[in-house]
Amino acid sequence: MKRTFKIALAGNPNCGKTTIFNSLTGTHQHVGNYSGVTVERKTGICRMGDIRIEIIDLPGIYGLSSASAEEKVAFAELMNDEIDLILNVIDAGNPQRNLSLTTQLAELNIPMVLVFNMIDDARRRGLEFNIPILERYFSAPIVEAVGSTGEGIDELKRLLLKVLGSAGPKRPKPIDYGETAMPIIRELSSAIAAMDIPLLKRLPPRYFAIKLLENEDSVRSIPQLQPLLPAVDKWRKGIQKRCGVSGETYMTDCRYGMISGACREAIRIREQSRHQFSEDIDRIVTNRYLGLPIFFMLMFVVFFLTFQCSIPLMDLIGLGFSALADLINHLWPSGHLEYVRSLITEGIIGGVGGVLVFLPNILILFLAIAFLEGTGYMSRVAFVMDGFMHKFGLHGKSFIPMLLGFGCTVPAIMATRTIESEKDRITTILVLPLMSCGARLPIYSLFIPAFFAPRYQAVMMWLIYFIGVVLALCCAGLLKSTLFRSDDEVFVMELPPYRMPTVRSLLIYMMERSTMYLKKAGTFILLASVIMFLFNTLPEKKEYSKDYPALTARVENDASLSEEQKRKQTAEYKAERESERLQYSIAGRIGRAMTVVFQPIGFDWKVCSALIGAIAGKELFVSQLGILNSVGDSEADAATLQEKLRMQYTPLQAFCIMLFCLITMPCVATVAVVRRETNSWGLMFAQIIGLTLLAYFITLIVYQVGTRLF
> What is the structure's pLDDT at 367?
84
- What one-character-per-residue DSSP string does 105-118 give? HHTT---EEEEEE-
- CA nearest 642: which of 392, 499, 449, 494? 449
pTM over 0.75: no
Question: Pairing state of beta strands 40-48 and 51-57?
Answer: antiparallel
Exposed, middle or buried: residue 410 (CB in 10 Å: 0-12, 13-18, 19+)? Answer: buried
Which pairing describes strands 4-11 and 85-91: parallel, antiparallel, or unpaired? parallel
Domains and CATH numbers, the chain: 4-165 (3.40.50.300), 178-273 (1.10.287.1770)
| Rounded distance between C-alpha atoms, residue 459 and residue 221, angstroms | 59
The DSSP-derived string for 676-694 is HHHT-HHHHHHHHHHHHHH
Start-to-end Cα distance in the chain: 86
pLDDT for position 699: 96
Based on DSSP, count helices (H) and strands (E) in the chain, helices before strands: 34, 9
| Pair 526, 347: CB distance under 8 Å | no
373, 357 in Cβ contact below 8 A?
Answer: no
Sign, CA dihedral 281-283-284-285, equals positive
Task: With CA atoms as reference, report the closest residue to 442 among 310, 624, 697.
Answer: 624
pLDDT along the chain (710 residues), means of 10: 87 88 77 51 86 90 76 82 90 89 91 94 86 90 91 92 81 84 90 82 87 86 88 89 83 85 83 56 83 81 72 82 87 84 78 66 77 79 77 79 80 77 88 87 84 87 88 92 70 62 77 67 64 81 89 90 88 82 85 92 89 79 70 49 85 95 89 87 95 96 92
Q: Specify the 3-state DSSP secondary structure of 41.
A: strand
* Residue 509 buriedness (CB in 10 A; 0-12 / 13-18 / 19+): buried
Determine the pLDDT at residue 327. Answer: 92
Spatial contact of 413 and 398, defined as CB atoms under 8 Å apart: no
* Cα-Cα-Cα-Cα dihedral sign, residues 344, 616, 641, 361: negative
Burial of residue 435 (number of CB atoms within 10 Å: 0-12, 13-18, 19+): buried
d(C-alpha 658, C-alpha 393), whole Å: 28
| Spatial separation of the C-alpha atoms in residues 534 and 314, rounded to whole Å | 27
Res 273: pLDDT: 44
pLDDT for 651: 94
pLDDT value at residue 659: 96
Distance of CA 115 to the CA centre of its chain: 29
Residue 272 pLDDT: 45
45/576 Cα distance (integer angstroms): 59
∠ CA 147-148-149, nearest 5°, is: 95
Q: In what order do the strands lie in the sheet with 85-91?
A: 29-33, 40-48, 51-57, 4-11, 85-91, 112-117, 142-144
Could you give the CA distance from residue 474 to residue 470 in angstroms, rounded to a whole number? 6
- The CA–CA distances, whole Å, from 615 to 531, 606, 667 equal 11, 15, 5
> Does 230 sit behind a cis peptide bond, omega within 30 degrees of 0 on the bond before it?
no
Residues 6+ apart with CB under 8 A from 221: none
Question: What local confidence, expressed as pLDDT, does residue 90 receive?
Answer: 95
Cβ–Cβ < 8 Å for 58, 9:
yes
